[in-house]
Every structure is written in structure tokens, then in C-alpha cells.
Structure 1
Amino acid sequence: MKKINFSLIPWRFQVVLGLLAIMVGAIAWRIVTLQVLDHDFLQAHGDARSVRHIPIPAHRGLISDRNGEPLAVSTPVVTLWANGKELAGARDRWGELASALGQDPKALSERLAQSSDREFMYLVRGLTPEKGEQVLDLKVPGVYSQEEFRRFYPAADVTAHVLGFTDIDDHGREGLELAFNDWLSGVPGKRQVLKDRRGRLIKAVQVSQNAKPGKTLALSLDLRLQYLAHRELRNAITEFGAKAGSLVMVDVKTGEILAMVNQPSYNPNNRRNLQPSAMRNRAMIDVFEPGSTMKPFSMTAALESGRWKPEDKVEVWPGSLRIGRYTIKDVSRSEGRDLDLTGILIKSSNVGMSKVAFDIGGQSIFNVMHQVGLGRDTGLGFPGERVGNLPNYREWRKAETATLSYGYGLSVTAVQLVHAYSVFANNGKIVPLSMTRVDNVPEGAQVIPENIAKTMQGMLQQVVEAPGGVYRAQVPGYHVAGKSGTARKTSTDSRGYAENSYRSLFAGFGPMKDPRIAVAVVIDEPSKSGYYGGLVSAPVFGRVMAGALRLLNVAPDNLPEPQQQTADSKAAKGGRS
């Protein structure tokens, strides 16, 4: 065989052969690189162009009352979305899609035309699964679905102000839904799927991360008591033509809020025509001057001073008292010239209370009110809750001392008011309030001496049961205690108080044998049939307290003694037998 003499081959041909050899080597090396050395890198890039992670929604935690009754639940819904680029190629089916969605064809066509260059747009959110399937069964190109959850409130307007609501993305926006949002929110999961270049689902591969639902929240509310309070407050607002109202009920031993209602209310399941004023939890956000409901705390300061006893008398004649350019007046006249301390509470004498306050000083009254929680944060952490105002002066003049003693010059919320009265009911101990169920009874702090607290219990019982007292607050079968109040409202457009504009109040507790619950009722601007607290708010207290004690199976402490059989009747019975 004759050997090739490369020296005889033209040099150009040698260059071509060399380049071919280099190209073959480069291709071989690239093949080795792609298949062996860079396999993981290229696999990842390939997956990135086809493998997708779809979020798996996690539902919010259940909110229940203290007995496990559901107050807020999450229900599965379907959200439909569209790829505008794909849907733009199916214009002939836009009318069919609009009909299935229940939307105006013209409006939907305009939306789709404006979003024809977008790969994502919402068509409708929160459909029932059945309705969503009906739309998807049309197989309109570019229409897809995703799973979501929607919040539902079984008690509707009865618990609206306490629970609040969530937005369309299931995030808490008001009330306890907002306060406990981190606790209630779940952690979404991930599902791995394969999609083509158009984003269409080819295959569901695996669940790479399971969704974690939110935690359950057990509230202190008793739904039975909530319904009761809601009904009675609503009826009173209607009967007296009032602007608004609030009612709060507290377990005096544990500090649990058993009921909290406001009027007007709203339905959180349908907020289309919602008025912003109806959303306000007035029991925690509205502050007001509490009027004569503060007199028991001023009286407590008098008893604590050691200078006064319940039987001590104060001259209240002629029913008015001049302090500089101010005149203090009593609404109801007493039969005599003098009243004892209990009589001052029964008659709600501003003159008598002021004279006692002058003797003990404004600072001592301030101290008692501060100790029972007025002017202080309740610690509930409710969004927007107000602290109120309890003034403290470097020098207590007569005017400031008098007005504070009968409930003017300070501001409180309904929650603070019922909390303060729970201290009397709990024998002088204050326990922290709670919106969640309490399993262990807190120790509490003794802020009023026990003997004085029990003395005040007896005096406040007389306010309800004595002749001339607030008889409309009485509860058949039970001894209860409390104090009414009627406070003029301040004017919004000028200094001073508005004409014919009042708040009617009553705060009390029961039963007296072993106080269990405290209730505060605030009714704003009653306009029909009167406005005094003993007329407007006291009956609400009485009806709610009566229903609550029976629902809680609290034994009556004011039943009539059974009549003793006489000896004659026994003898007659024996003769007949």
C-alpha cells in the first residue's frame, strides 16, 4: 500500500482538515460536558422552564365561643383567572363566558380587551366550588382556577364588632381577626407541577410542602349570652329611639368577657352597603363621661379615709350648692334635710356627694378610680381601643373635686366601667380582662379593702331594692346591686354641653350571695319616653341579668320562704288520713 505523502498535499487542504478535526473534538467535548460534567445545572434550567410550584392555600383557624360553638369558619371557594393573551384568541366565546359568570357581556369584553397583553387577570373571586366547575366545564381557552378560602360568620351581626372580618385575601382587617391575625393565619403549602410553554398544566408531580392550617382560637364569649344581650339592647334602642348603645358582661372571678354587643351592628358576611359608623366597637372605642355611676367609687374613697361611715348624714337641703360661678343641683329631692351615705347613692345626690368629696379631697377619689382601672389600658389589645382620661391635678380645687366625685371631667369606655364594677363584686380584687377563654382563675390584686368592698355591695344592693331605688333593675328570684347614671353629652360644635342630649347608663352585678357576673349598659341619645339611666338602661340590665343567671344555672338567692304549715292544718291532715 502506498503511503500518502502529506508534503505533496496543498497547504490549504491541510488547514481544512485541521479545522475539521478541531470541530469534531469541540463537539465531542461539548457532548461530554452536557451529558456528564454539567448535567445537574442543565437539568435545573430545564425544570425551571417546565416545572412550576403552585401554592396550596391554608385555611384560617377556627374561632369559637367558650363552649366550642363556631363563630368564624373558613369555607373553600374557587377563584377564576385568565391568561389574557390566550383568551384574546377566543373572542367568539367571551359572551358565553360572561353569561356563565353572571357578568355584563359588554363590561367583561372591555376588561378582557384591556388585558389582552397580560398573562394574569382575575375574572371572579370567591365562587362556590359547584359554580366554578360549571364555568370550567365550558373549556374556554385561557380560563383557569385556583383554590382559596373565604371567611364565614355563623352569628352574623351578633358577634360582628368583636370578631371583625377578613379581606378578600383572607387577612384580618378588623376586630379579633386583626388582633390575632398571626395566630389564625395558616402557612401555605406548595404543589409541584409540569406546565408547557403556554403555562398550561400537563401533570401534577408531587406535594413538596404541605399547607399548615391556622390555630384555633377559643374566645371567652358565651354565644347564648351574646344573643341575649344583642336582643335586649336592640329592643331598647328601638323602644327609646336611641342613636346607639353598648352592653358588656364580665365574669367577675376570671375577668372573662362573656358578652359584648353594640348597636347599630352590621353583617360581616355581606358588607356591600356597610356604613363605616356601624363597624365601630363602641364598647371599646367610644369614651364618655360616666355620670353618677362614679359615685360608688367616690363613696369608697370616703369609707377608706376612715372619716365616714355608711350611717353618717350629710345636709343636702335645698338641693343645690354654689361653687364660685357654678351651681351643683340635685335632680331628685329628698324628703328631709339630710341623707346618709346610702341615701346619697339611692337619691343620686350631687350635693351630698360633693360635700363628702370636699372633706376627703379629690386626690383620694382619683386614687380609688385609678386602682379599679379607670384611665388605664385594659390590656386586651383590641385594635383601636381607647384608654379614656382620668385627670389628676397638682392642686385640687372645689370645682374639679366635685365634678369628679359625681362622674364628670373624666372619660371611660363601657369595658372600663364594667371592669371597675367587677372589683366591687369580687370583694375588692381586680383581675385582668380577657377576650379568650381562661382555664385557670387568676389570683387578682386587692385594690379595695375587702370589708369596704362588701359594705359597698350592701349599699349598692339598697340602691336597687330600697324604696325609691332603681326598681327597674330588679331581677326576680335574685338579689342584685348597681347604680344608674345620666350624663349630658358634650357639644361637638361649641364648648359646654349639648341641649337635650344624654347618655343613659347602668352598671351592676349579682347575685349578692356570691356575685358571679357584672354588666354595664350604655345607651346613647334616647329620644322617646325619657332619658334617665334608671328608666332606659336599668330595665335592660334587669332582663339581661335575669336571663344570664338562668342560662348559667346560678342558684336563686331571693326566693320567698315556703309557708310553714300550722298545727291546725297538720291536725286536720292527720284527721283525714
Structure 2
Amino acid sequence: MRSERRGGTSRQAPIAPPLGGGRFLFILLAIGLASVILIGRITLLQVIDRPFLQSQGDARTLRHETIPAHRGMITDRNGEPLAISTPVVTLWANPQELPNDAIQRVMLAQALGMSLSDFEARVARFSEHEFMYLRRQMTPAAAQQILNLRTPGVYPQREYKRYYPAGEVAAQLLGVTNVDDVGQEGLELSYQPYLAGRPGQRRVIKDRRGRLVRELGVINEAQPGGELTLAIDQRIQYMAYRELRAAVAENEADGGVLVMMDARTGEVLAMANLPSYNPNNRAGLDPRGLRNQALVDVFEPGSVMKPLAMAAVLESGVVDRDAVVDTSPGWMRLDQFTIRDFRNYGELDLPGILEKSSNVGMSRLALQLSDTAIWEKYNQLGLGQAPGTGFPGESTGSLPAPVRWSRSERATLSYGYGLSVSAVQLASAYTALANDGVRLPPSLLRLSEPPQGTPVIEPTVANDLLNILETSVAAYTGGRRARVEGYRVGGKTGTVRKIGQQGYTTDAYRSVFAGIAPISDPRIVTVVMIDHPKAGEFYGGAVAAPVFSSVTGNALRLLDVPPDHEAE
């Protein structure tokens, strides 16, 4: 309050009238309306638009991450690991989030083992994307060193990588997986759906930089792949590969194959191939090493077929078991072709024909049989048919149908020409000789119980041939180097000319040996093939038989098979 003095008279200043009722009501209405709008907006956001807004928020922060499932382990028959999955880390980056700071980029490039120019070029190539790989499948320790740089835009991704403890020893049988852990070759490819497993999924919250804020829970648990137990024995496999490699090197050969089967079950105890490769480090890989020659490749078997052809002769009833065949003068003309023996063996009985490996003797016997007798026996033994192992690309071989066969074709079939087989097919056929005439199909997986098998040779004939095979590796024969100290073994050598552009060559051979041990109670069947030995020796008895002797002897001892022969 103030007072004014005018002309000696003072008076008090007037007080402003209170807010009028209309103005007060207006303010109350304005406040009320604002409150209603605010409450409506809150209701709209919290009730009506809540699902939409929450989904939008989740889309920016909530993530569904894949939980990788590790691939099933592959083991040998004794549980020793042959293929396992190890945890690794893959580093990736969002190029749009990578810093422009030169020092940070140089440090990241050096940690990745890249030059700065290569790193910049890679980032530029993906500059319009939000994802690029920096390094695949690193060890967790190595990846952590890079993550410790805390470079913006660099993130880890957990994965699994296949590792093969046996390395090159069983590479072709096991096969390999690609960088995404998917089977590409061998059993890894055959059993891909079984081994792969099923990835899981979890819900997480991440910030705008992709960093984990909180894990909300697992949606689906990861299901690991199934385990695969193979029939091979890793100990025998190592020995087979070692001896095969030594023989290939000593004879300067192009390669080789060894297959060992259990004569009682048909399980493949060893399968070695050369050349080979290291599946854990495929730098400088020789493509030839990828092929599982024991199952995929075929060859003319040569004289190792003579015992199987002799089974047809003995079962025919046409030729007496005590028959004597005159092989003089060591050769014979047939359909304008000349069939020769190593030398003139003169008169030979049936065991002598196998012991001396007489082509002339087998031809004279074959021509006394029906046109299809030997073909039918080979067909019963599984030749010209898929072995049924389930291995990708397994070969059926070749057994031409007996349509308009000439006499020379019938003759050559009896001593192993004019057909082709794989090493596994040949070993399976020999199980009939070792198993009282019952052929067993080959199995790459360990069996819970022996298979039924197929009777294909009369038991008495099979036993007779088994004893003849023992005499074929006697001290005075070409197969003597196959003998195993302390054990009775039997087998047949084969030396096969390779086919060139102008027909059969005269300077390139395959050396083959197929054998059974021990004769008294057969346990294993082994086939060895050395491809094109060039160091001088090329006969099967000189090149392939020693490999059989070494591997078979060690295998029998590892399997605790008691000796059945006194030392000489």
C-alpha cells in the first residue's frame, strides 16, 4: 500500500479487485482439459498402444540368439575319438560402427594378421552392410586378445570346429566338414543328419551396440548330434597306415590301399589309403588324397581271383578233385590271344595250379565249365554289386554279363582279368573262404551282433581252398613273404598290368595280395594293393605280401589271437 500526497492532502491507493469468477472458471477448465488429455495419452500409450510400442522396443533391444549344437563325436570300436567338435569363436563386425580413428584400425588390422590396406579394402566392400566376417573359427584365447582391444563394432560369435585326432591316418574314411561344420566327404557326409544335432535358441536383451545386457531365458535347448561308433580299431589303423606308407615309399609307388576285415563279422578293422592328407590343415592339399580308394576306386584284381574261380571248378562236378592239368609248353593260343605262365610248369594238380599261379592251368579248367559258371560264382560273391556300406560314391565294380562271351573272355575271367573290383569287395569275397563258405557284407560301423551272411561256397570246398591258400605262402613259393611268425596264414598274390592308352602296359603294374589268418580259426581277412611300384620289384609276392605279413602279425597280437603254429 502506498499513499499519495497532493496539495497537503494524502489518500490511500486503491486495491486491485480479486479474480473474476469467469476467469477462474476458465483456468480450472484449462487445467482439467490438460489433465484429461494427459490421462488419455497415458491410457493410449499404456493400454491401447502398449503391444505395438512394446514390440517396437523389443525389436530394438530384444534378440533371439542361436545356441550352437556341437556335432556328434565319431569314435573307433574301442571308444577312442576319431572326430570331435571343439569350441571356437568367430569374430564379425558392423562396418558402419567401426571407428574412423586410424590408430584403432591399425591395431585391429594387426591383431587380425592383416595389412591395413587389405583391412580397409574389406571394410569398404561391406560399407553398406551391417555384417562382415573378420576371422572365422579362432581359438577362444586368440579371439579374446582381439576383443580386449574393445574396438567398437567388433563382436564374437560362438561356434564349433571339427578336429581329427588321427590326422591323415583315417582321413578318407572319416571325411571332412566345411567351415559351417557341415559334412562334405566320407562318413561326415553320409551321416550328416545324424551327426549334426539341432541348434537351440535363447532370448536376450542387447543395447544399440549389440552388447549383451541381460539374458531372459532359453527358448529351446540345443540338442547335440548323435555319436557314431566305427568298426575300425585305431591301433590297427595306425599300423596299417604306417606299413602301407613305408611300402609305397620304398617301392616308389603312386599309392596304395589296405583293407582288413573281421572274418567273423565283416567289420572293417582297418582301411588305409595313400596318398592321404591332414584334415586339420588342408593347405597344399593333393586332391588325390581325398579319394577313399578302398571303396571308390576299382582295379583288375588278377591272380587273387584264382581261388574264387577254383571254387566254381570244385563245385561244378565236371573236374575231379584229383585231376591233373598239363600246362605245357607254358602258353596257349585262344581266339588270337596268347595266355602265358611265368614258365612251363608241366603237369599240375589243382592245388599246384594255385600254388604256381598258372594262368594256363586256370584257363584249361574254366573252358571245361559251363559258359556262366565262373560268372555266377563271382556274382554270388558280391562282385559287380554295391558293397552296401553307405559310403558316398562306393563303387559297384564291373562284372560284365555273360552275353556272347568268347572262349578267351571265359578264360581271362578265371585268372582275374576282364572284371574290376574294389579292395573292399575283394576282402568281402574272401570272407567266404574264411567263414565256411558264408560271405559277410562289409560294415564300417561296429555291429552289436554278427550278421547272417550269405552261403555262397560249399563248406567242404571253402575249407579245401583255405588249406590250399596256406600252401601258396609256403617257404618255397612266391607268396612266402606273407608268412607270419607263430601263425598259420594263407593267401594269394596278384600282379596286374595296368591299362594305358594303347591297352595293357608292359612297365606299369599293380601288386596285390589277399590273405587270411590264422588258418586254423580264421579271424581276419586282409587285402593289400600297391599301385605302380617303380623301384624295381613289382610282383605281388615281393611288394604287397610283406605289408600283409607285418600288419596281420601285429593285428593278431593286438586282438589276443593265440598262435597256432610252432616257430621253425
Report the equivalent of 1:12.
none
Report the equivalent of 2:505.
498
Q: In 2, distance between residues paired with 1:248 and 1:362?
A: 32
More moved, 173-182 vs 96-105: 96-105
Question: How far did residue 219 of structure 1 move?
Answer: 0.6
- The one of 51, 61, 84 equivalent to 2:62 is 51
2:504 maps to amino acid: Y
Report the equivalent of 1:230.
241
Pair 1:348 & 2:321 matched: no
- The one of 531, 536, 558 equivalent to 1:551 is 558
What's the CA shift string for 1:553-575, capped at 9, x where partnerless? 101111259xxxxxxxxxxxxxx
1:120 maps to amino acid: F
Tell me the SS of whatever aligns to 1:245: strand
1:146 maps to amino acid: Q
2:294 maps to amino acid: A
Report the equivalent of 2:387.
378
Pair 1:398 & 2:407 matched: yes
Report the equivalent of 1:100.
111
Pair 1:78 & 2:85 matched: no
Pair 1:265 & 2:276 matched: yes
1:259 maps to amino acid: A
- The one of 297, 300, 311 equivalent to 1:289 is 300
Q: What are structure 1's unaligned runs of at least 5 residues?
A: 5-16, 562-577
Question: How far did residue 488 of structure 1 move?
Answer: 0.6
Question: How far did residue 31 of structure 1 move?
Answer: 5.1
Question: How far did residue 344 of structure 1 move?
Answer: 0.6
Pair 1:434 & 2:434 matched: no
The answer (yes or no) to whether the contact 2:375–2:402 under 8 Å persists in 1 is no
Q: In 1, distance between residues paired with 2:130 and 2:49?
A: 33
Pair 1:533 & 2:540 matched: yes
The answer (yes or no) to whether the contact 1:362–1:400 under 8 Å persists in 2 is no
Q: In 2, distance between residues paired with 1:197 and 1:270?
A: 38
Pair 1:303 & 2:337 matched: no
Q: In 2, distance between residues paired with 1:310 and 1:96?
A: 84
What's the CA shift string for 1:101-153, capped at 9, x where partnerless? 22222211221232222211010112111111111111011111111111111
Report the equivalent of 1:7.
none
The two structures have a TM-score, normalised by structure 1, of: 0.90
Q: Structure 1's 158 and 560: CA in aligned 2 closer, same or farther, altered over 3 A?
A: closer
Question: How far did residue 42 of structure 1 move?
Answer: 4.1
Q: In 2, distance between residues paired with 1:27 and 1:358?
A: 108
Q: What are structure 2's unaligned runs of at least 5 residues?
A: 1-19, 23-28
- The one of 146, 169, 180 equivalent to 1:135 is 146
Question: How far did residue 90 of structure 1 move?
Answer: 3.7
1:393 maps to amino acid: P
More moved, 145-154 vs 302-311: 302-311
The answer (yes or no) to whether the contact 1:88–1:112 under 8 Å persists in 2 is no
Root-mean-square deviation (CA), in Å? 2.2
Tell me the SS of whatever aligns to 2:354: helix
The answer (yes or no) to whether the contact 2:335–2:407 under 8 Å persists in 1 is no
Q: Could you say which structure has the larger radius of gyration?
A: 2
Pair 1:458 & 2:475 matched: no
Q: In 1, distance between residues paired with 2:21 and 2:549?
A: 124
What's the CA shift string for 1:133-177, capped at 9, x where partnerless? 111111011111111111111110111111111111111111111
Report the equivalent of 1:448.
457
Question: How far did residue 277 of structure 1 move?
Answer: 1.1
More moved, 460-469 vs 529-538: 460-469
Q: In 2, distance between residues paired with 1:218 and 1:333?
A: 52
Q: In 1, distance between residues paired with 2:188 and 2:96?
A: 38
What's the CA shift string for 1:323-371, capped at 9, x where partnerless? 121111111432xx21011111011111110010000134110111111
Q: In 2, distance between residues paired with 1:107 and 1:250?
A: 53
The answer (yes or no) to whether the contact 1:330–1:351 under 8 Å persists in 2 is yes
2:201 maps to amino acid: K
Q: In 1, distance between residues paired with 2:472 and 2:52?
A: 85
Q: In 2, distance between residues paired with 1:498 and 1:145?
A: 59
Question: How far did residue 41 of structure 1 move?
Answer: 4.7
More moved, 446-455 vs 500-509: 446-455
Pair 1:87 & 2:98 matched: yes
The answer (yes or no) to whether the contact 1:87–1:116 under 8 Å persists in 2 is no
Q: In 1, distance between residues paired with 2:510 and 2:213?
A: 67
What's the CA shift string for 1:453-481, capped at 9, x where partnerless? 11111111111126335111111111111
- The one of 522, 528, 533 equivalent to 1:515 is 522
More moved, 469-478 vs 111-120: 111-120
Q: Structure 1's 51 and 310: CA in aligned 2 closer, same or farther, altered over 3 A?
A: same
The answer (yes or no) to whether the contact 1:311–1:342 under 8 Å persists in 2 is no
